Every structure is written in C-alpha cells, then in structure tokens.
Amino acid sequence: MDNGILILADPKGNAWGFAKEVYEKLNSNPSRDRKYSLGEVEIIKFNDGELFIQVLTNVRQKTCFFIHDSSMNPQDWTISLAEVNDALMRSSAGKVNNVLPYMKYSRQDRMSAPRTPITAGVLAKIIGLEADRVITTDLHNSASTSAYAVPFDNLKAYPVIVGHLMNNYPDFLRNLAIVAPDVGSAERAKSYAKRLGGSVAIVDKSREKAGIVGNMTVIGDVDGKNVLIVDDMIDTAGTLCKAAEVLRNNGALKIWACATHGLFSKDALDKLKNSCLDKVIVTDSIPQQDLDKVEIVSLTGLFAETIYRISHGQSVSELFRN
C-alpha cells in the first residue's frame, strides 16, 4: 500500500522556502503522480540555548524527506538533525531521508593533527543511527561517503550552474578559460570545460597556514580570455580574491567565479565587493539572497528530480552522466 511521500521542513526556518519550491516542482508535472505532501517540523530554541523539536504533521508509515536549514550554526544544525530523526522514528515514519543541501563539517574529514577527531565521521555515525538515506550536494571530499552505513546521494551542482550560464550568458562563454583555484579542483574545472568549452588553467598556490595563502602562479593561458573560476565552496573568499587578482595580472578579461556553497564567512562579502571579480555565482544550498556581485541559482529543481527518482526506484546517477 502506498502511504504517500512527505516533504518536511521547519515553517519558521530558512529552509521552508526551499522545501516549498521542491514540493511545488514535484507536483507541477501533469504526466507524473502527485502523491507528495508538504509537512512541518517545528524547531524551537529556548532561552538557555536548548532545542525543542516537534513534528506537526502525521508521518505514520510515510516516506519522509526532511530538508534541513543550512544557515543554522553547525552545533544547532547537528543536534536538531539528530532530534528530528529521533522524532520521526518515534512517530512511526516509514522512511527517514535527510536532505542536507550543504553538509556541515565536511572539511573535517581526516585527522589534522595528533589526538583530533574525524568530525565528518562522527556526524556520519549520528545520522546513521535513525536515518535511512542522506542526500547532499558537492560534498567537499566524496570519499567521505564511505563513512555512512546508509545510502548516500552526493548530487552535483554543475548541471544547474552550466545550464544557467549557457541560457543567460552566451557572450561571456566565448573565448573562455575555466580556472581551478588549486590543483585539487582540476577535475572539477575539466568537467566544466567539457560542457562549456574553453581551455583549462590552474592557480597553483602555497598556503602559509590555515586561511592565509602565500604565493600564487597561473598554470595555463588566460591572456585575453574571459575566466570562470570554479570551486565547491566560498568561505572567507581570501583565496578567491587573490586568485582573481593574479589572473587579472596575467591578462584575463572578465573574471567570474562559481561555487556550489556560498558560506561567506567573516568579511567575505566585503572582500568580493572590493575585488576585481566581476560576478560570483553560487547556489541556494545555503539560504541567502542576491547580493552585490553575487547571483544565486536554485537547486530546488535538482532536488525535486532526485526525490522523484528515489521514490520511484529510478537512477540518480544518470542525472550526471552527460
């Protein structure tokens, strides 16, 4: 018997708009079934900092996709996720699927020094206690999925960003160089270049210490070309802004950057505003609005299609084959 599928979020949280759009897109195709409903999970923070969770919708025997608010601080995000999973389990949910557009702690995926935890692995254990599946976007290290004992869908944002660029900025894409901001991002740059055309260049950097970048060298030709810097996230934006300056000094024309996750920590937005970057494109994996130089593209269509495929036993990986 089909007991329906619920898209859940906190109606007062910043993920509610994202959840509503996913729900609307799931039900907008007349050729597909419309068995999806929108439900509410209330997350309240008491004066002493403790969190209280209540599922406000009947979830008994339903397949639940809980969309979590990526704008919460990491500590509240983690404990509220564990509490929501427990509440759904105790409410007799049929399946509990965690939809985490941005996976916090994803950069803490190894021991950075003696006697330190692997926090990404700790989070995997917490989630795996009561969740049946995890869905996220562009995990910082895809190998981290091996820490999970439940099915894990690590979606890619590039089809959304590439489609946005091709549909809205064809002139920029002419005479293009795709730039990886470090050697570790080279494969991502090649993936974009395969779809957008253009050459690939790498900014080779030496990092003096965490958050402080030393010398940078451009490997490849950007002289007289429009440049698109591609990365998985923008945090403090120090590396990105310095890379843009080096690219300008090497003859780049328009300099744009795109990333899946816009963390924009500390004074990142001021750095971007005052940099030689002409445009920055990020997704709504972390809720935010268009800002000076920053343009937001939505992942709601990608998540809606993923949820549809999961709930109908169809392949998710086929979304990223071309």
Tell me the per-residue pLDDT of 87-138, one tens digit each, with 9 for 90 and over.
999 999 999 999 999 999 999 999 999 999 999 999 999 999 999 999 999 9
137 and 225 inside one domain: no
Between CA 128 and CA 122 the distance in angstroms is 10
Query: Are both 52 and 168 inside the same structural domain?
Result: no
Dihedral sign of CA atoms 259, 311, 20, 128 in order: negative
Range of the structural domain that residue 47 is part of:
5-156+300-320
Residues in the chain with pLDDT < 50? 1
Backbone angles phi, psi at 206, to 5 degrees: -115, 130
Residue-wise pLDDT tens digits, 296-321: 999 999 999 999 999 999 999 999 98
Same domain for 263 and 201: yes
Task: Output the six-digit token pair for 109.
Answer: 């995926």
* CA distances to 67, 148, 226 from 80, in Å: 12, 19, 43
| Cβ within 8 Å of residue 179, ≥6 positions away | 189, 200, 201, 202, 203, 218, 220, 222, 227, 228, 229, 230, 243, 247
Cβ contact 216:252 at 8 Å: no
Tokens matching residue 304: 């809606």
Q: Quick one: 20 and 90 in the same domain?
A: yes
Retrieve residue 187's tokens. 């494969």
Q: Are residues 206 and 274 in the same domain?
A: yes
Contact 204, 217 (CB under 8 A): yes
The answer on 308 and 293 residing in a single domain is no
User: How many structural domains comprise the chain?
Assistant: 2
Outline where the chain has alpha helix (H).
16-26, 74-90, 119-128, 158-168, 170-173, 186-196, 238-249, 268-273, 300-311
| Token representation of residue 35 | 């068995």
Query: Is there a single domain that holds both residue 128 and residue 17?
Result: yes
Residues 169 and 74 placed together within one structural domain of the fold: no
Contact 65, 6 (CB under 8 A): yes
Coil/strand/helix, residue 224: coil
Instruction: Tell me how many degrees the CA angle 102-73-271 measures, rounded to the nearest 5.
Output: 75
Q: What is the DSSP string of 152-210?
A: EEEE-SHHHHHHHHHHH-HHHHTTEEEEESSGGGHHHHHHHHHHH-SEEEEEEEEEEET
* Same-domain pairing of 106 and 241: no
Active site residues: 205
Six token digits for residue 231: 């990365």
The pLDDT assigned to 1 comes to: 38
**What CATH code is carried by the domain that includes residue 271?**
3.40.50.2020
**Would you state the pLDDT for residue 34?**
75
Residue 80 DSSP SS3? helix
> Which residues face 201 on adjacent strands?
179
Closest by CA position to 210, among listed 249, 173, 238:
238
CB 230 within 8 A of CB 188: yes
Phi first, then psi, for residue 100 (nearest 5°) are -120, 85
CA 80/CA 69 separation, integer angstroms? 10
Residues recorded for the chain: 322
| In a shared domain, residues 194 and 274 | yes
Q: 183 and 102: one domain?
A: no
Same domain, 168 and 119: no
Tell me the sheet residues that pair with 314: none
